[in-house]
Structure 1
């Protein structure tokens, strides 16, 4: 029959394109069509006659009677929600007449849903399955809980919503559909939490425990049925994993921040904070037992603790928003405790975010010249593979690697700035001074990375200036970082805390780099002076265009490139008479044969008349 799926799909489809008024109109149209199918529709201009509730036999014969009851209950609910949404924007609030009208509509819908559940309970006549009966009872309890919520009857609201939660939990365990989980997380659990707060139930009590206790107090055959069919639901009435109950039992009840101990009154914050502590222990174990890991693999180990700390931040923000919505002032002790908790959990989350960036940068926070992880492999001649650590990369590739480090340093500096803006941090002089020192430490590392890129590009002067600035930043941060305890050991995971060993190591490295950069600049300046003082090769009076065959050994005079204004000059060319003279050159071996030919020709022509020249051309004339 899919009662829950039908109701949820009707609401989602209508509310996706409209409001509760649109939903009410659609339900009225669907109800008319349903009555026409059952041949019980009121004729035009006729008087409406209530045919009564659907019986089990009618539902067994035609499921349209079931749909008729669902649409009737949903229309009353949509009408009540439409009135509530209309008057929610009023500055004076909702008057008693409107509230009573809303309650009456919800009670009518709950009565219709309860009649449907009673009819389906007669499984022999209605043909309903046990799952259909549980869905009908859960739907009726959901509407009853909404009616008691509007009447501000918190005890009745808790009982009905507890029944709905237990039944939907049992259905989710048996049917394995997410639609029941969505109902619990979006509608039922927030209502139970608010009703429990109004009923003076401590916030440290988890919602599953509140629902289980309220459900057991109802008694009746429904409790016995759930104990018989789903005994584990009443023991672990949570849709989370099997560790949900143990997590809530072992949840931290206190939080310590800067020497101040705060009692955690919200159950969600306590569970999330306990998850952060557990994730921290797992991270420490991975760091100590992993051995030599690549930076990307080590940074992936921070995902669990970042997710847990983000959950703690979200739970704290939700608790603060709830108190603000209830009109609790900032001077209230609960609000003060939540503000301290907010600062603590945000500091924890940002601290681990900085730690992951430090791991990605590399060993010693990228202070030493290392171009990241060993990702490429080279083949030796004997077939063995060796790792390439990037030391033979091209200059452009090295600068690109340094740019990636600078981006990570920028992310760390932005995170430190967000920590400084947390409530209460500015008033803590010790913490503020330490955060400034940590910011100067990472600023020095950023300047060092940029200086190395300038050094690779050949800008020695820029590199010297940046290293000098980095050394000044480190010298300012070193006394503050050395005053505190060594917060980080070699085996502990990286976080926002900078140890005095790291600060001293960076200071010593920058001192050496400063001397090296000064030496490079001195060599660069001396070479420049020697080049400018060296005599230039070639004739300086000739322009550069006239000396293209000579490579300039010194500097080039850019003011003497060509002769201007241009003048007539001799240009060496090939003599033409050499081509003509070549026609008269005879080889020695042909001299005798040519003289014999001349003598024979004279003898043959002595006794013969002189031959006339032949005519050329077709017609006797021509050339």
Structure 2
């Protein structure tokens, strides 16, 4: 019959594009169409007559009677939720007739659902299976719990929601658990926690433990149906009874942060930390196995630890917010303990995130140029038969860019650690974090230097390598004063081991010498390229106005034997010399007559310096 699927899918589909008012209108339309199909709709201007709930035989013959009851109950619930949403912003809260109307609508929906569960309980007549009966019972308890929550009847409310949680937990063993996950996390679990708080139940108890204690064990038929699906669900072991935590006998009771040990009073935090420890052990086993080779597979193994760590951080923040809503001051010991726990779990979560980035960057945190293997597996036959291909510089540069992105993400994660409560006052931790920043910054500069080296920019590569070497040496000075606590075989996290920092220091020292040699070779090659041959060199006598920065070329003072070269001469001097020099091919001027020499000069003779007589 899929009662839970029918209800959850209808709610999600309606609330995805609208609100409770839209859902209420859709249910009214669906209910009218259902009555039409059953031919029980009230005629126009007809007198309304109250009808009795459908019998088990009617439900067995036609499942529309089942949907009729579900739609009726859901419409009453949606009506109540619509009023509650409209008046949620009232300064004085929901009081008076509005509150009475909401309770009335919820009570009507609960009674309708309880009638349906009673009808289905007669399985021979209704044809319902044990799963259908449990789903109907859980739905009825869900609406009854909402009614008691609005009435502020905390013990009946806790009992109803505990029944819902136990039933859905049992059904998840035989059905799709994702169907109940959102319903439990968004509605049932918060209501159980709040009702338990109102009934003075200790916060150290887990929600599953509270639900099991509040479950009505006197209902033998319901207990029998639960035991058929999950025999161990209602049983409690001695260790769980002593600790008050279900499903995690190894859950920690305390947490240590920087030599400070605090007690874990919230069961949700303890359960999340227990899940983190379990995921960490699985991660260590998976990384130690020979099956994990590729960086992406190794990074995927961190996902479970990251999810568990995030759950622990969310549980801690939720516990702090609950205490603040209750009006607990910041000086309260509970708040102080939770703040320390929050710093510890967030530091652990960020540490695993950095470890995942380190695994993705490759061997030795990506210090080697070809440290990141390919993303595909190759068989031994392919490896021996095929010759290794030379990778083009463009692919190497692309891989270096990916490493730089990972280093930037790691540096941002370290900066977020400094914003956690209590970290700014811890000088030793800040010094360690600064050294870690210098370590990853050196790796980032090394990757960028290699990209410059691949593009034949040796001077930029030398400058970046020198800067990376200086950063690494500063980190070495800090890490040499402290000892690592984790073994080399443990999964990588934020902790930098001595072997890691020493390997990077030795590598950068070699890279620095290599870059210096490359720059020197490039300079010599440029000098040789710019050097002119001896026969094309200008003699020193013609370059006296230049300063010989590389020394005077005493081997080439003048050209010998001298060459015939044109000499620049002023035009005036050239014209005057024309009158006095007998050039080849020039006829000598005729001597003047005696009578003309004493007499008046001829008209053709010109006088003066600028005569230019020719």
TM-score range, shorter chain: 0.7 to 0.9
SS of the residue corresponding to residue 493 of structure 2 reads coil
- 1:262 paired residue number: 262
Q: Indicate how the Cα distance of structure 1 residues 471 and 139 shifts in structure 2: closer, same or farther if over 3 A, else same.
A: closer
Decide whether aligned partners of structure 1 residues 488 and 113 sit closer, same or farther in structure 2, where only a CA change above 3 A counts.
Answer: closer
SS state at 2:248 partner: helix
Q: Please provide the CA RMSD for this pair.
A: 3.6
Rounded Cα–Cα distance in structure 2 between residues aligned with 1:142 and 1:316: 27
Per mean C-alpha deviation after superposition, the further-off stretch among 373-382 and 90-99 is: 373-382
**What's the counterpart of residue 83 of structure 1?**
83
Establish whether residue 251 from structure 1 lines up as the match of residue 275 from structure 2: no
CA gap of 1:513–1:209, structure 2 versus 1, over 3 A, is: same
1:472 is matched with 470
TM superposition shift of 1:212:
1.8
Residue in 2 aligned with 1:583?
Answer: none
Is 2:363–2:371's contact at 8 Å kept on the other side of the alignment?
A: no
Structure 1 unaligned regions, length at least 5? 238-244, 541-623
CA shift for structure 1 position 265:
2.6
Cα pair distance change 1:23/1:296, threshold 3 Å:
closer
Of 313-322 and 447-456, more deviation after overlay is shown by: 313-322
**What is the alpha-carbon distance in structure 1 between the residues aligned to residue 507 and residue 135 of structure 2?**
71
Q: CA deviation at 1:85?
A: 0.8
Deviation at 1:60, TM superposition (A): 5.4
Number of equivalenced pairs: 531
Q: Is the 8 A contact 1:488 1:498 kept in 2?
A: no
CA contact (8 A) 2:159 2:216 kept: no
The CA distance in 1 between the partners of 2:72 and 2:81, in whole Å, is 15
Q: Distance in 1 between matches of 2:424 and 2:381?
A: 61
SS of 2:533's equivalent in the other structure is coil
Kindly indicate whether the alpha-carbon contact (under 8 Å) linking 1:166 and 1:211 is maintained by their aligned counterparts in 2: yes
Residues 387 and 287 (structure 1 numbering): CA distance in 2 closer, same or farther, change over 3 Å? farther
| Residues 466-518 of structure 1: per-residue CA shift (max 9 Å, x gap) | 22222222232222221111345432332211234433443344344434433
The residue correspondences of 1:407-446 to structure 2 (distance < 5 A) are 407-446=405-444
The structural deviation recorded for 1:122 is 3.9
Post-superposition shift, 1:524?
A: 3.4
**Offset at 1:224?**
4.7
User: How far apart in 1 are the matches of 2:285 and 2:125?
Assistant: 62
User: Per the alignment, do residues 102 and 443 of structure 1 end up closer, same or farther by CA in structure 2, a change over 3 Å counting?
Assistant: same
Provide the rounded CA distance (Å) in 1 between the counterparts of 2:206 and 2:505.
Answer: 51
Q: Measured at CA, do residues 456 and 10 of structure 1 come closer, stay the same or move farther in structure 2, by a change above 3 Å?
A: closer
Map 1:8-407 to 2 at 5 A. Answer: 8-36=8-36, 40-56=40-56, 59=59, 63-174=63-174, 178-217=178-217, 219-226=218-225, 229-230=228-229, 232=231, 234-235=233-234, 247-288=247-288, 290=290, 293-373=293-373, 384-385=384-385, 388=388, 392-407=390-405
Is the CA contact 2:469–2:508 (under 8 Å) kept in the aligned structure 1?
yes
The one of 480, 483, 501 equivalent to 1:482 is 480
Task: For residue 377 of structure 1, report the CA deviation from its aligned partner.
Answer: 10
The separation in 1 between residues aligned to 2:529 and 2:175, in whole angstroms, is 87
Q: Deviation of residue 124 (structure 1)?
A: 4.9
Q: Are residues 1:449 and 2:450 paired?
A: no
Q: Using the alignment, how far apart are the partners of 2:273 and 2:134 within structure 1?
A: 36
For 1:606, the equivalent position in structure 2 comes to none
The 8 Å contact of residues 280 and 305 in structure 1, kept in 2 or not, is answered as: yes
Whether the aligned pair in 1 keeps the contact of 2:263 and 2:337 (CA below 8 Å) is yes
**CA deviation vs aligned residue, 1:322-361 (integer Å, no higher than 9, x gap):** 4455554444433333332222222212212222322333
Counterpart CA distance in 1 for 2:150 and 2:254 is 35
The CA distance in 2 between the partners of 1:378 and 1:19, in whole Å, is 54
- Could you say what secondary structure the match of 1:249 adopts? coil
Is the CA contact 2:154–2:195 (under 8 Å) kept in the aligned structure 1? yes
CA contact (8 A) 1:204 1:265 kept: yes
Structure 2 Cα separation of the partners of residues 516 and 279 of structure 1 = 44
| Equivalent-residue separation in structure 2 for 1:233 and 1:114 (angstroms) | 27
- Decide whether aligned partners of structure 1 residues 29 and 357 sit closer, same or farther in structure 2, where only a CA change above 3 A counts: closer
Q: Judging changes above 3 Å, is the alpha-carbon distance between structure 1 residues 511 and 7 closer, same or farther for their aligned structure 2 residues? A: closer
Change (3 A) 1:309 1:12: closer
How far does residue 108 in structure 1 lie from its aligned partner after superposition? 2.3
For residue 351 of structure 2, give the secondary structure of its aligned residue in structure 1.
helix
Q: Matches of 1:87 and 1:26 in 2, distance apart?
A: 22
SS at match of 1:256: strand
Match of 2:578 in 1: none
Kept in 1, the 8 Å contact 2:173–2:230? The answer is no
Q: Give secondary structure in 1 for the equivalent of 2:94.
A: coil
In 2, Cα distance between equivalents of 1:379 and 1:69: 62
2: CA distance between counterparts of 1:166 and 1:380?
53
Deviation at 1:261, TM superposition (A): 1.5
Once residues 62 and 377 of structure 1 are traced to their aligned partners in structure 2, the CA distance between those partners, rounded to angstroms, is 57
Matches of 1:6 and 1:516, distance apart in 2: 70
Q: How far does the alpha carbon of each residue in 1:186-236 deviate from its partner, in whole angstroms, 9 at most, with x for none?
A: 43233222222332323332322222221145x134345336644616436
Tell me what 2:550 maps to: none
The structural deviation recorded for 1:86 is 0.9
- State the Cα deviation string for residues 51-108 of structure 1 (Å, max 9, x = none): 3444445555655444443333222212211111111122332224322221222122
Q: 1:169 to 1:297 in 2, by over 3 A?
A: closer
The worse-fitting range, judged by mean Cα deviation, of 125-134 and 107-116 is 125-134
**Structure 1 residues 446 and 191: CA distance shift in structure 2, 3 A:** same
Stretch of structure 1 that moved more, 39-48 or 304-313:
39-48
TM-score, normalised with respect to structure 2: 0.76
1:112-161 CA-partner distances (Å, limit 9, x unpaired): 22233333334455454444433332222111111111112211111111
Indicate if the aligned counterparts of 1:377 and 1:386 stay in contact, CA closer than 8 A: no
- Return the alpha-carbon distance in structure 2 between the equivalents of residues 56 and 333 of structure 1: 58
Quickly say closer, same or farther: Cα 1:449–1:222, change in 2 above 3 A.
same
> How far is the alpha carbon of 1:165 from its aligned partner?
2.5
Shift, 1:364, TM fit: 2.9
Question: In the alignment, which residue of structure 2 is the partner of 1:543?
Answer: none
